[in-house]
Amino acid sequence: MTTLHTHTASSDCQHLLSQLNDYADGELSAQLCQELEAHLAHCENCSIVLDTLHKTIYLVRHLNSTPPPHIPLSVENRLFAILDLQDFLDQGSD
Amino acid sequence: MSNLHIDFDLYPDEASLIQGLKKGDRHACACMLKKYAPRVYAIAIRMMRDQDEAEEVLQETFISACQHIQKFEGRSALGTWLHRIATNAALMRLRKQKNKKEVSLDAPLETFDGDDIPRQIEDWTYFPADLSLNSELRDVLEQAIRQLPDSLRTVFTLREIEGYNTAETAAMLNISVSAAKVRLHRARLQLRETLTPYFSERTGGQS
């Protein structure tokens, strides 16, 4: 079983973590990038945060690329009805 | 009354579907609903977190689309146009919910503060290679997004899921670009916090 650690961030960590978003999006200036990468090289906690943040972003983008679940049939029926299209339901539905 | 079969072959591409919609063809309208309603409903659910409210957004979106299809100039894909209508309808509803607890959607500039410090530092050693097969993961993620407060979830949904850029997102929410950036940052960090136990608990042998 793994233990979750509490991150006691130094002021360095706190300052650089506020830049992680721009870094993850490739929008951070070259100078700040250098500063952040130098910090990441010796701060394991921040490296883990960055890695898991990347994975979070990756997951969300993957979610967006997959088809959404089916719309509930009752919701679809009411949508067709409100547009007076209920005669297209049944065979056209699931 | 006999039921009509929805024949997608009647509109083999988007241009012919739009043409049918502009002519007031009911069959084209039924095709549009069948094709785009699931994605619009998914947006509405994410934004509203309430099935009844989401259904209202869904209906408003397609009623509005049918009413204004003549104005659709095809500068974007039909789906993108529908998503924007749905997003605007959802934002209007959220603004009306004055009794909601948190920060207003139009709150002034925010800055980074101590709330942004990550609390859970744990490698995600369980991370499936083939995400396409994992519906459980999809549910976990959707649930985590729904847990975000309105002010963060709206920015996150527009920026990260709907694909609007930061300036567009800020304009739609009447907030500054820097506030949109801060909220996106917070939303991502909060999601990371919410998801961390799910991925780290599986290091003990579950899969």
In angstroms, the CA B81 to CA B113 distance is 36
- Higher-pLDDT residue of B183 and B123 is B183
pLDDT (mean) for B148-171: 89
Q: Is A13 a residue whose pLDDT tops 90?
A: no
Residue A60, pLDDT score = 86
Chain B nearest-CA distance from A26, in A, is: 14
On whether residue B108 sits in a domain, the answer given is no
Lowest mean pLDDT among A47-51, B113-117, B118-122: B113-117
Per-residue pLDDT tens digits for B85-103:
999 999 999 888 855 555 4
Q: Is B39 a residue whose pLDDT tops 50?
A: yes
On whether residue B101 sits in a domain, the answer given is no
Q: Where is mean pLDDT largest: A15-19, A61-65, B3-7, B60-64?
A: B60-64
Distance, CA of A42 to chain centre = 26
- Tokens linked to B60: 């408003």
The total domain count for chain B is: 2
Give Cβ neighbours of residue B171 (< 8 Å, ≥ 6 apart).
none
User: In which band, very low, low, confident or very high, does the pLDDT at B131 lie, cut at 50, 70 and 90?
Assistant: low
Lowest mean pLDDT among A59-68, B59-68, B133-142, B198-207: B198-207
Q: Which domain holds residue B120?
A: 114-204
User: In which band, very low, low, confident or very high, does the pLDDT at A16 lie, cut at 50, 70 and 90?
Assistant: confident
Last residue of a domain, one of B40, B68, B96: B96
CATH of the domain at B192: 1.10.10.10
On whether residue B88 sits in a domain, the answer given is yes
On whether residue B109 sits in a domain, the answer given is no
- Asked if residue B168 and residue B132 are part of one domain, the reply reads yes
Residue A85, pLDDT score = 94
Q: Is B166 a residue whose pLDDT tops 80?
A: yes
Give Cβ neighbours of residue B147 (< 8 Å, ≥ 6 apart).
B190, B194
Residue B133, pLDDT score = 54
Last residue of a domain, one of B96, B122, B148: B96
Residue B31, pLDDT score = 95
Place of tokens 């994605």: B39
Chain B nearest-CA distance from A31, in A, is: 20
- Asked if residue B168 and residue B90 are part of one domain, the reply reads no
- Higher-pLDDT residue of B106 and B44 is B44
Residue A2, pLDDT score = 40
* Residue of B137, B185, B199, B206 best to disrupt the A interface, most CBs of A under 10 A: B185
Chain B nearest-CA distance from A64, in A, is: 6
- A57, A67, A92 ranked by CB distance to B6: nearest: A92
Q: Is B24 a residue whose pLDDT tops 70?
A: yes
On whether residue B2 sits in a domain, the answer given is no
Q: Give domain limits for chain A.
A: 11-66
CATH of the domain at B88: 1.10.1740.10
Last residue of a domain, one of B62, B96, B130: B96
- Tokens linked to B140: 């976990």
